Amino acid sequence: MKTIIEPFRIKVVEPIRITTVEERRSLLERAGWNLFAIHSEDVIIDLLTDSGTSAMSADQWGAVMRGDESYAGSPSYYRFETAVRELMQFRHVIPTHQGRAAEAILFSIVGGPGRIVPSNTHFDTTRGNIEATGARAVDLVVREAHDIDARHPFKGNIDLARLEQLLEESGDSVPLVMLTVTNNAGGGQPVSLANIRATAEIAHRHGKPLVIDGCRFAENAWFIKCREPGQESRPVPDIVRDMFSVADGMTMSAKKDAFANIGGWLATNDDKLAAEARNRLILTEGFPTYGGLAGRDLEAIAIGLHEIVDEQYLRYRVRTNEYIGEKLLSLGVPIVQPVGGHAVFVDARRFLPHIPPLEYPGQSLAVALYEAGGIRACEIGTVMFGRGPDGVEKAADMDLVRLAMPRRVSTQSHADYMIEVFEEVVRGKDELRGLRIVSQPPQLRHFTARFQPIS
């Protein structure tokens, strides 16, 4: 069959409140044209993030009831540990309340002033946790990643030559090498199995462990199956095992590719590191058989890990994004190509060339999508990155709008509705105007800044 259907049926529904354009205009005004200040009940389709927004399955909800809340030695922990180790065979699996807690524990041990941590591209919490210890986070993604139109199959790959050079010149300062799969900050682009293996080989030759930030490991494995020569007939769980078999540890947010609403873990083969990490875990998160989680959360993750490597799910997941991407391109909306595993990124700077970067074309598009159809997306551009530590404004590298797709939440008609909203925005795009910031905090301004449209 040509039609790829949602490989699930709906048992529990959450009603959507349908707002009118007039209502949304006044909600925008009240929110200072910042979509983070809009209440989610006033959003028709929420594409702000794919993190923690997955729909859990009947099996997951069933397992929630089985959750054992014993302080120590809960069977829920052992089911969680077994599920992780079926895919990622690490000796120690340490549960945390989110991915960033795993990062904080890891870098409080291996970070510190003068240290350098290379990756393809660090996610912002990873970078934040590295820099908070005084260490430096270095991004070494391949050059194609910076070219919006380059249709390279693995734009998340690390540049092996630059990694080798860094390790030769400053190896003494490098505690470990990281890889983020898929590369979230780089548009959800995958890393090839060949690149993962070559990264491990280089790291190990220099005596460094490889730690994978595995938040979207299943989407990455699916891209490997679809795009990497020789991988097309292999089961996804086998590809996942291969990805992690050359690594020495991982950090994970279960809010992504584990279908959970909360959770994460740190895993390692290093006994000494694990002992230190568990000591810190007890201080900051909890006892090692629950970390920062309830037993019921560990159960939901264990089931989610079985479901996320299902090929029918992954085919539907990635195809949905491709479908939306193709339709946007046919409307003349420029997007980052190829589309990522968890999101479609629109190139707002090119879509709205009459709005200069310092008048925030990404914010203008995000506001227009909300006004026209109640869609909430996220500006990733000059609002987010355009102010240096010195307080001076400058254009970010790109002005993108991210349409992040929650897992198993929407149907085909939601996708078609999104396209129709874009059609409406395309029709009026020449009339769209930029915005100016009327108030902003000193850091992370995109969350709380207030705007005013430029008339």
Ligand X SMILES: *Cc1c(COP(=O)(O)O)cnc(C)c1O
Least spacing, CB of residue 433 vs ligand X, in Å: 33
Spatial strand order of the sheet with 177-180 comes to 92-96, 264-268, 249-253, 210-213, 177-180
Q: Select 185 or 432, whichever has its Cβ closest to ligand X.
A: 185
Structure tokens at 87: 């895919």
According to the binding rule CB under 6 A, does residue 126 interact with ligand X? Answer: yes
According to the binding rule CB under 6 A, does residue 123 interact with ligand X? Answer: yes
Specify the amino acid at residue 162: R
Least spacing, CB of residue 440 vs ligand X, in Å: 23
Residue of the chain from 98, 119, 321, 364 that contacts ligand X (CB under 6 A):
98
Residues 6 or more apart in contact with residue 124 via CB below 8 angstroms: 185
Specify the amino acid at residue 27: L
Least spacing, CB of residue 253 vs ligand X, in Å: 3
Helix (H, G, I), strand (E, B) or coil at 231: coil
Sign of CA dihedral 356, 357, 358, 362: positive
User: What one-character-per-residue DSSP string does 82-124 give?
Assistant: HHHHHHS--SEEEEESSHHHHHHHHHHHH--TT-EEEESS--H
Residue of the chain from 34, 157, 180, 410 that contacts ligand X (CB under 6 A):
180
Residue of the chain from 215, 260, 401, 405 that contacts ligand X (CB under 6 A):
215
Residue of the chain from 264, 291, 304, 325 that contacts ligand X (CB under 6 A):
264
Considering only residues 268 to 287 of the shown chain, the ones binding ligand X according to CB under 6 A are none
Q: Are 124 and 103 in contact (CB under 8 A)?
A: no
* Rounded Cα gap, residues 156 and 154, in angstroms: 5
According to the binding rule CB under 6 A, does residue 304 interact with ligand X? Answer: no
According to the binding rule CB under 6 A, does residue 100 interact with ligand X? Answer: yes
Partners of residue 450 on adjacent β-strands: 439
Q: Select 184 or 364, whichever has its Cβ closest to ligand X.
A: 184
Q: Select 184 or 321, whichever has its Cβ closest to ligand X.
A: 184
Structure tokens at 12: 């529990």
According to the binding rule CB under 6 A, does residue 213 interact with ligand X? Answer: yes
Specify the amino acid at residue 322: E
Q: How far is CA 384 from CA 47, 51, 191, in A?
A: 17, 18, 25
Q: Select 264 or 361, whichever has its Cβ closest to ligand X.
A: 264
Strands in 146-196 per DSSP E: 177-180
* Rounded Cα gap, residues 12 and 257, in angstroms: 21
Residue window 395-434: x/- pattern of binding to ligand X, with contact defined by CB under 6 A: ----------------------------------------
Least spacing, CB of residue 254 vs ligand X, in Å: 7
Stretch that binds ligand X, among 120-128, 145-153, 397-405, 445-453 (CB under 6 A): 120-128
Q: Are 285 and 97 in contact (CB under 8 A)?
A: yes
Q: Select 8 or 36, whichever has its Cβ closest to ligand X.
A: 36
Least spacing, CB of residue 179 vs ligand X, in Å: 10
Residues 6 or more apart in contact with residue 108 via CB below 8 angstroms: 133, 280
Residue window 222-261: x/- pattern of binding to ligand X, with contact defined by CB under 6 A: -------------------------------x-xx-----
Q: Are 223 and 264 in contact (CB under 8 A)?
A: no
Q: Select 255 or 407, whichever has its Cβ closest to ligand X.
A: 255
Specify the amino acid at residue 18: I
Specify the amino acid at residue 115: R
* Burial degree of 275 (CB within 10 A; 0-12, 13-18, 19+): exposed
Q: Select 130 or 365, whichever has its Cβ closest to ligand X.
A: 130
Structure tokens at 377: 């997306």
Residue window 359-398: x/- pattern of binding to ligand X, with contact defined by CB under 6 A: ----------------------------------------
Spell 184-195 as b/e; 16+ CB within 10 A means b: bbbbbbbbbbbb
Q: Select 90 or 123, whichever has its Cβ closest to ligand X.
A: 123
* Burial degree of 233 (CB within 10 A; 0-12, 13-18, 19+): exposed
Residue of the chain from 67, 99, 188, 304 that contacts ligand X (CB under 6 A):
99
Stretch that binds ligand X, among 80-88, 96-104, 279-287, 370-378 (CB under 6 A): 96-104
Residue of the chain from 60, 76, 120, 125 that contacts ligand X (CB under 6 A):
125
Residue of the chain from 34, 51, 289, 410 that contacts ligand X (CB under 6 A):
51
Least spacing, CB of residue 12 vs ligand X, in Å: 24
Least spacing, CB of residue 267 vs ligand X, in Å: 14
According to the binding rule CB under 6 A, does residue 184 interact with ligand X? Answer: yes
Q: What are the backbone dihedrals phi and psi of residue 135, each rounded to the nearest 5 degrees, phi first?
A: -85, 170
Q: Select 98 or 157, whichever has its Cβ closest to ligand X.
A: 98
Residues that bind ligand X (CB under 6 A): 51, 98-100, 123, 125-126, 180, 184, 213, 215, 253, 255-256, 264
